[in-house]
Structure 1
């Protein structure tokens, strides 16, 4: 009998999991899962109506980028930008697509000379992006999330 009691006491001492609550175990599992998620990547890219949501992630990205650049190019071709002979430069436009698919321009990185030659440039870029067709937001684990993108615009004399 003494052996049985000693064995039970030792068993209880070494099996600490018996005393851990279900809530704590659940929280530990949630924490492990949260650490395993790559928060710098989305499961589904923002999609235009013409893009197929059932395709692979790579195809979704290609469709998003193609549609975005096609719209952007078409809009910018309506304007005639006049730059100096030595102004071959690249402008970077940072924008955010929120959980509802709404786009906001965050920052436009450009040379100061562009502001002198084309003071309306920022407004044209912002308006072009605001006039995009409706977008479905990016998804992470089935939940709509915000995503930030950067697109380059090459300005040259051609």
Structure 2
């Protein structure tokens, strides 16, 4: 029994040297982790209720963009914009999804749009694009972030 205790004590004392390694500095670990993160891409894209069942990241992204384009198109459908400016068949709308799940819409008028009243078009878009379903913001490393994208909206003149 004494031999076992002595052997166990030696083993215990010699194993302590395996724990003597340097503990990495907190700042060093943070810098390393920040370098590993891809800052140009979000972890999860914004989502809408219709797309919640989809698990594939790319398919969920496509579902979200197609649902948003459809909803914006339905809300702008036959509207004053198409009547005021019949030569405009497509309008680019910059959509901002904030981290607190609110939305902001801004029209992106063509560069040669001196003949269009940007303020009038902007006010029409802001008045029509309200009451959207709940949107889950994009996330980066589990933290909600603000994202922006441009949706092409086709205006139908009927």
Fold match by TM threshold 0.5: yes
Query: How much does 1:108 deviate?
Result: 3.3
2:93 equivalent to 1:99: no
1:147 match: 147
Once residues 32 and 68 of structure 1 are traced to their aligned partners in structure 2, the CA distance between those partners, rounded to angstroms, is 37
1:136 match: 136
| SS, match of residue 50 in structure 1 | helix
- Contact 1:95/1:103 (8 A) holds in 2: yes
Could you state the TM-score of these two structures normalised by the residue count of structure 2? 0.69
- Contact 2:91/2:108 (8 A) holds in 1: yes
Once residues 75 and 60 of structure 1 are traced to their aligned partners in structure 2, the CA distance between those partners, rounded to angstroms, is 22
Once residues 127 and 138 of structure 1 are traced to their aligned partners in structure 2, the CA distance between those partners, rounded to angstroms, is 25
Taking a change above 3 Å as real, the CA distance of residues 62 and 98 of structure 1, as seen in their structure-2 partners, is: same
Gaps of 5+ in 1: 1-16
Query: How much does 1:101 deviate?
Result: 1.0
2:7 match: none
| SS, match of residue 94 in structure 2 | strand
2:46 match: 46
Could you state the TM-score of these two structures normalised by the residue count of structure 1? 0.69
Query: How much does 1:156 deviate?
Result: 8.8
2:109 equivalent to 1:112: no
Taking a change above 3 Å as real, the CA distance of residues 40 and 144 of structure 1, as seen in their structure-2 partners, is: same
Root-mean-square deviation (CA, aligned residues, Å) is 2.8
Once residues 56 and 73 of structure 1 are traced to their aligned partners in structure 2, the CA distance between those partners, rounded to angstroms, is 26
- Contact 2:91/2:153 (8 A) holds in 1: yes
Taking a change above 3 Å as real, the CA distance of residues 104 and 67 of structure 1, as seen in their structure-2 partners, is: same
Query: How much does 1:78 deviate?
Result: 3.6
Task: Tell me the number of residue pairs that the alignment of Structure 1 and Structure 2 aligns.
Answer: 134
Alignment map for 1:1-158 (pairs within 5 Å): 22=23, 25-52=25-52, 55-80=55-80, 81-82=82-83, 83=85, 87-88=87-88, 91-105=91-105, 108-110=108-110, 111-115=113-117, 120-153=120-153
